[in-house]
Structure 1
Amino acid sequence: MKQLAGGLQWAVFLIASSIAAPIAIAHVFGMDAAETASFIQRTMFVLGTACVVQAVIGHRLPINEGPAGLWWGIFVVYVNMVGILYATADDALQALQTGMIVSGVLFILLAAFGFISKMKRLFTPTVTFTYLMLLIFQLSGTFIKGMVGVETSTDPIDGIVFIGSLLTVIVTFITMYHKVTWVSKYSVLLSIGFGWIVFILLGKAQSIHTTSNSIVRFPEVFVYGKPVWDSGVVVTAFFITLLLIANMMASIRVMENLLKHSFQKEVSDRTREGSIASGINHLLAGVFSAIGPVPISGSAGFVGTTRMASLRPFIIGSLLVMIMTLFPAIMSFFAALPAPVAYAVTFAIFAKMVELAFAEMEMENDKTIGYRVSALGLMIGVGLMFVPTESMMHLPAILSAVLSNGLIIGTLVAITVEQFLRAMKKRRSV
């Protein structure tokens, strides 16, 4: 029973933290209600499957898969090409569908040729600290805007939504650090349930609507047509894959360190297997016309909060997500979860990530280099977050997607600067 309750909590966390991406992409592509519901179903099915694949044959860590922010950015870039490079939105989505498949093949090939093992050495404590802090800075603005009911720059702050979000955050922190074990262990599930009830009482919860009359509906494959050769999307997929590998490695390192230092668990290096599993998951994303998944660093905050480091409830939760996607009524239920509740609970979880970030920096042997590297990485990464995405639209798709992602650029800067400083230090000592 405990394993099932833990699995349900993982399932709710996975859905609550991932459902915004397919909804947003469906919106920018102008999908109707039925198309949106189908896109959400396919994406969540792929994410649940991806978690199982990683847990069974991949890195074997309790890291949930979520829609990759880089692919999210590419989707937004490509929608602006409709009417220019692509005749219809479906043509653009067909090209992106192909990009997922290309990315999947690249993940597997790079792992097979040993590239992954060499790249892992670049993720030192300083680089991981920089990555985590950039991730927190990048998402904190989204959390706060969601918690005050602001979706666009013209939206006013909604005081009632803010009150509901604040109550949810307070309850989340209380349950996270509660002395009663079962309360802290299931804090995420309890907080989401509490927040949902609060928003119903405040009159800010959506009613549940289903767009399908069928009880069971299986996800469709190749919704936008068979894969097509598109040289532009192939080049984009190549660079995106390299960056996603960096993202994956950072997430794995954070979880490995958490399990070693907080749970005293021995963790074997399965980064190569994790990359192969990511390749399989991207192939699935292409086949099911969904968003490419990536291991989410925020899962370390979830595990640290709930103290659930076992793989069994994680696998159960992932299987529950897969099963839930087959029932339109259940997906409609979760789609009705007030967004501010999800943002409020995730905000509290990411507060735990700040602790993990500073714990990483404490493991750095050469603090002088660490401070210099993180300073440059953080300043450049955070600075790019303030550059309007619209000002980059005239650039090639890959440049626009990458430069608009301060998280990735800041991390790459940290890696480059650290390797340079360490090489210079080594040369001086010779």
Structure 2
Amino acid sequence: MNSGRITPKVALAGVQWMFFILANTIVVPITLGQLFGLPPGQIAFTLQISCILTGAVCILQALAGHRFAVMDGPSGVWWGITLSLVAAASASGTPVAEIGGGLAAGFMLAGLLMAVLGGLGFSRQLTKWFTPVVMSISLFLLAVQLIMHFFEGMLDIQPSGHMNGPVAALSVGIAVLVGILTVKGRGPLANFSMLIGITAGWIAFDLLFPSAGGKAAVHEASATPLFPWGAPRLDAGILIAAFIVGLINMSNTVTALHTAGQLYGQAPTEGQHRRSFLITGVSSIIAPLFGQLPFGTFVSSLGLLESTRILHRQALAIGGALFLALGLVPQLGQWFAALPISVGSAVLFVAYLQMFGTAFRAIQSQGIDARGFYRIAVPLLLGISIMNTPAAVFAELPLFLRPLVGNGLVVGILASVVLEFLARRAAQAQAELKLPGVRTEPLKAEG
């Protein structure tokens, strides 16, 4: 796949990976800790555990799992579901600890599902359901969801709902710098555009806003019990959601490895899928013990690979080891946790633009005609519409349906799976009846 020798370029790429993992994951344990009302010391402890678990999983995946430079981390799909469920519980007066306990049981079920089904070779069945079109829709929707999230982070939106103008201006400048280095840069400038952007942006932020409050607040860690969100409890609605979201999470792994295989010039083997699912599944079973989200393979890693053009899996392993060290050395972790959210968001905003290009090229390769174009438009626009719909709109739905129906990514992917299934059945029926096909012309740009 690539040489095992650690060169200075690979080592520096490892530092870049550490920052990429940091910017993608640092906000998750802090946000969720505050959401569940955990004391500051407990939040600090969950932050340390997050660094240790995420770093260890990335090392295992790079060296023994799928062996691609594709990171694992707290699942974005599960993050959205958790935020939705807790918001719904608060609105209905349900104790947050009940939701937390139900989620802990659901997380463990989802992890067990991934480990067992993955070990049984379920990736073959997932590949049948998640066709190249479905994978492209998944990439599109992930790009939109992440870009929206990081765009809000760039603007440094205040509690009043207004953006912080000076911070937003700096964020735009950082994004432009990283974009120019990525597109026009050559050699090290292009390879390390993210690292340059984060370093320069962090220095500029501290010089321009020495007393700014846009940094993640951390405290000294204190001992914490297991299952800090609440004791595990069986909740039928959450368990149903866990099963569906668990399959969606597995589909993200299939999409990530399939797309990474195209970059590496080799399709992922069934063994790579099995090992990847096993590592991600086992880590997802462990995660809720310490108030962590289930793990998932980050499709967004592809944006970093395409931006920097460094495919060495050893770089991910080094980045994972450095990130793990942040959890083992609390003072070091607290210092890196002070990375301004707006700076990290600006850099990731550019990195994730590559995901849109990846999805667009995948759609182009399918040769979709005018009639088949609806298989793209319906799930994509439906998913984006739901992403921009207030959560209160779905308040009348049963609790177990709210996080599913109110999640644009989940709805878009499921709609795409259904449409692809119907299209396949229609094609089979037409072939069996030997009916003449209806000729449609590919879409052509006007002018």
Q: TM-score, normalised by structure 2?
A: 0.86
1:395 partnered with 2:397: yes
Instruction: Report what 2:292 is aligned to.
Output: 290
- Give me the whole-angstrom Cα distance separating, in 2, the residues matched to 1:33 and 1:25: 12
Check the 8 A contact 1:74/1:397 in 2, yes or no: no
1:198 partnered with 2:210: no
Map residues 107-122 of structure 1 onto 2, 5 A cutoff: 107-122=114-129
Instruction: Report what 1:376 is aligned to.
Output: 378
Q: 319, 327, 330: which one pairs with 1:328?
A: 330
Change (3 A) 1:185 1:210: same
In the TM superposition, residue 337 of structure 1 has moved relative to its aligned partner by: 0.9
Q: 182, 191, 203: which one pairs with 1:176?
A: 182
Structure 1 portions without partners, runs of 5+: none
Instruction: Report what 1:258 is aligned to.
Output: 263
In the TM superposition, residue 135 of structure 1 has moved relative to its aligned partner by: 1.6
Change (3 A) 1:148 1:192: same
- Give me the whole-angstrom Cα distance separating, in 2, the residues matched to 1:369 and 1:22: 45
- Give me the whole-angstrom Cα distance separating, in 2, the residues matched to 1:156 and 1:329: 33
- Give me the whole-angstrom Cα distance separating, in 2, the residues matched to 1:180 and 1:219: 48
Q: 150, 164, 170: which one pairs with 1:164?
A: 170
Check the 8 A contact 1:298/1:353 in 2, yes or no: yes
- Give me the whole-angstrom Cα distance separating, in 1, the residues matched to 2:21 and 2:183: 21
Task: Please give the per-residue CA displacement for 1:62-85, whole angstroms capped at 9, x wherever unaligned.
Answer: 111232223223332443536978
In the TM superposition, residue 391 of structure 1 has moved relative to its aligned partner by: 2.3
Name the amino acid aligned to 1:325: G
Task: Please give the per-residue CA displacement for 1:361-405, whole angstroms capped at 9, x wherever unaligned.
Answer: 122144446522101111211121122112223433431111121
Tell me, what secondary structure is at the counterpart of 1:150?
coil
Map residues 331-410 of structure 1 onto 2, 5 A cutoff: 331-368=333-370, 370-410=372-412
Greater shift, 297-306 or 22-31, is seen at: 22-31
Check the 8 A contact 1:224/1:289 in 2, yes or no: yes
Q: 6, 13, 18: which one pairs with 2:20?
A: 13
Change (3 A) 1:416 1:83: closer
Check the 8 A contact 1:90/1:224 in 2, yes or no: yes
- Give me the whole-angstrom Cα distance separating, in 2, the residues matched to 1:425 and 1:223: 51
Change (3 A) 1:293 1:370: farther
In the TM superposition, residue 90 of structure 1 has moved relative to its aligned partner by: 4.5
Instruction: Report what 2:69 is aligned to.
Output: 62
Name the amino acid aligned to 2:134: V
Task: Please give the per-residue CA displacement for 1:312-370, whole angstroms capped at 9, x wherever unaligned.
Answer: 11111112111211122122112211111111101111121222111111221444465
Task: Please give the per-residue CA displacement for 1:185-208, whole angstroms capped at 9, x wherever unaligned.
Answer: 111111101111111122165579
Change (3 A) 1:424 1:104: same
Check the 8 A contact 1:381/1:406 in 2, yes or no: yes
Q: Cα RMSD (Å) of the superposition?
A: 2.7
Check the 8 A contact 2:154/2:171 in 1, yes or no: yes
Tell me, what secondary structure is at the counterpart of 2:129?
coil
- Give me the whole-angstrom Cα distance separating, in 1, the residues matched to 2:291 and 2:169: 38
Change (3 A) 1:151 1:56: farther
- Give me the whole-angstrom Cα distance separating, in 1, the residues matched to 2:242 and 2:106: 5
Change (3 A) 1:336 1:242: same
Greater shift, 3-12 or 111-120, is seen at: 111-120
Change (3 A) 1:78 1:373: closer
Check the 8 A contact 1:15/1:321 in 2, yes or no: yes
Q: TM-score, normalised by structure 1?
A: 0.89
- Give me the whole-angstrom Cα distance separating, in 2, the residues matched to 1:71 and 1:38: 21
Check the 8 A contact 1:259/1:267 in 2, yes or no: no
- Give me the whole-angstrom Cα distance separating, in 2, the residues matched to 1:426 and 1:34: 60
Change (3 A) 1:10 1:289: same
- Give me the whole-angstrom Cα distance separating, in 1, the residues matched to 2:85 and 2:378: 31
In the TM superposition, residue 209 of structure 1 has moved relative to its aligned partner by: 6.8
- Give me the whole-angstrom Cα distance separating, in 2, the residues matched to 1:96 and 1:233: 7
Change (3 A) 1:332 1:393: farther
Structure 2 portions without partners, runs of 5+: 1-7, 435-447
1:185 partnered with 2:186: no
In the TM superposition, residue 31 of structure 1 has moved relative to its aligned partner by: 2.6
Name the amino acid aligned to 2:198: I
In the TM superposition, residue 45 of structure 1 has moved relative to its aligned partner by: 2.2
Check the 8 A contact 2:119/2:277 in 1, yes or no: no
- Give me the whole-angstrom Cα distance separating, in 2, the residues matched to 1:423 and 1:83: 43
Name the amino acid aligned to 1:255: A
Instruction: Report what 1:129 is aligned to.
Output: 136
Greater shift, 165-174 or 223-232, is seen at: 223-232
Name the amino acid aligned to 2:402: S
Change (3 A) 1:191 1:370: farther
In the TM superposition, residue 151 of structure 1 has moved relative to its aligned partner by: 5.1
Instruction: Report what 2:102 is aligned to.
Output: 95
Q: Percent identity, aligned pairs only?
A: 27
